[in-house]
Amino acid sequence: MSVLEKLQDKGLKLPPAPKAAGLYKTVWLDGRSLMFSGHLPILEDGTILTGKVGSEISIEDGSFAAQQVGLNILASLQMQLGDLSKIDRVVKLLGMINAEPTFEMHPQVLNGCSQLFYDLWGEDRGVGVRSAFGVSGLPFGASVEIEGSFLLKE
């Protein structure tokens, strides 16, 4: 079953691929290494999921935002590659969580994206190394930003 079919089975679909909001590339490919710049939780209608986790929004809402970031990442990869079946595995995720200074559950928020990739590629290929930490703010007030890398098939 393809990645797009798995998304459809989960009731999810890719939003439009986000455009760079500054002077950077959203995706960079070097051989089999594919890196992506920080992506935000942009909905299909262009709105951004905002708010500080732990005070303005719940961990569950933050996790949903992280899942939405994962969908935006996949949309960028689809645009770059033309076919998500070229992806071999997740290598690294770095999650920045817009949170109050006393908030400590950053990994649980990032799980929204990690769970999506696990569901699409399984434990061996959908789970890579990762880091999650809190920040005092993100562009446009977004609740989550994620960057990272994938490895493409040979």
pLDDT averaged over the chain?
Answer: 97
The pLDDT > 70 percentage for the chain reads 100
The confidence score (pLDDT) of residue 27 equals: 97
pLDDT-flagged residues of the chain (< 70):
none
The identity of residue 94, as a single letter, is L
pLDDT of 118: 98
Question: What is the reported pTM?
Answer: 0.97
- The reported pLDDT for the residue numbered 90 is 98
Residue type, 67: Q
Task: Report the pLDDT value the prediction gives residue 53, as an integer from 0 to 100.
Answer: 97
Centroid of chain to Cα 5: 19
Backbone angles phi, psi at 130, to 5 degrees: -160, 165
Quick one: three-class SS letters along the chain? CCHHHHHHHCCCCCCCCCCCCCCCCCEEEECCEEEEEEECCECCCCCECECCECCCECHHHHHHHHHHHHHHHHHHHHHHHCCHHHEEEEEEEEEEEEECCCCCCHHHHHHHHHHHHHHHHHHHHHCCEEEEEEECCCHHHECEEEEEEEEECC
Condensed to tens digits (0 to 9), the pLDDT of residues 13-23 reads 999 999 998 99
- The pLDDT value given to residue 55: 95
Is-contact 57 103, C-beta < 8 A?
Answer: no
Task: Give the pLDDT confidence of 54-79 residue by residue, as tens digits.
Answer: 999 999 999 999 999 999 999 999 99
pLDDT value of position 140: 96
CA distances to 8, 71, 84, 105 from 98, rounded to whole Å, are: 29, 19, 29, 11
What distance, in Å, lies between the first and last C-alpha atoms of the chain?
20
What's the CATH superfamily of 3-10+25-32+57-152?
A: RutC-like (3.30.1330.40)
Q: What is the pLDDT of residue 60?
A: 98
**Identity of the amino acid at 103:** F
